[in-house]
Chains A and B, each alone.
Chain A
Amino acid sequence: MMARVGRSGVSEAQGPGERRERARRNRRLWIIAGAFAIGLVAGFASGFHDGGRPFEPGAPWPPAMAIAIAASYLVAAVGGGILLARHTDEVALQNQYKAVAVGALCYVIAYPIWFALWMGALLPEPIHLALFILFMAATMLASLYYRFR
């Protein structure tokens, strides 16, 4: 009746359900794009004010810019997360929860081991940025796994 299959084998949006599903997907994309845009602006702003020493602990940012970046991150992460959750179904939410749990597990395993090896003078002091990146990478990989398995 409404749903037809195109040459590519992908259903063409015809019925009210498909239109609703497409609208829901578009809303999600706009929310993600909005959060990404905030991150992009924050990234460019920090790039223009780091004095040519990106990510160096000794290269301070202007306090106003630091506050603006922190606030924009808070808005993008919390506000975007709440908005996104409203347009996310239970399957995707469950996958996301599991992926975050995998990321957290990686963190709680990696940090104590790194700390112990640092105390034994076998490794440099744990780097919080590296641990954050580890958490994010593990979460993203797990998210991809749960989505496409």
Chain B
Amino acid sequence: MGAHVKNRLRVLRAERGWSQAELGGRLGVSRQAVNAIETGKHDPSLPLAFRLARLFGAGIEEIFDDGESGEIWRV
């Protein structure tokens, strides 16, 4: 299994005063799912990452960080 990406979900959620259940309900996932993403146990799918980005009004890269430098190998 590859390394999980880091994220700022807990901070963004706290800024809005939302509980995990509140965020989960707004995303259409369970509280446990939010917890799993926040703690890095689960990397969200691309559709869920987009939903998160839209909900927080931020880019996906502003929420998630995969630790890469940004350099992409081109073929």
Contact = CB atoms under 8 A, between A and B. Distances in A.
Interface of A: 1-3, 5, 11, 13-22, 24-25, 89-92, 94, 147, 149
**Chain B interface residue count: which class?**
20 to 34
A90 B19 contact: no
A21 B30 contact: yes
Nearest to B55: A17
| Most-contacted residue by chain B among A19, A24, A25, A90 (CB, 10 A) | A90
Interface in B8-49: 16-33, 36-37, 41-42, 44-45, 48
17 contacts: A1-B17, A1-B18, A2-B22, A3-B19, A13-B21, A16-B25, A17-B18, A17-B23, A17-B25, A18-B19, A20-B25, A20-B28, A24-B28, A25-B30, A91-B33, A92-B32, A147-B32
Interface of B: 16-33, 36-37, 41-42, 44-45, 48
Contacts of B24: 17, 21, 89
Contacts of A17: 18, 21-27
B8 to A, nearest CB: 19
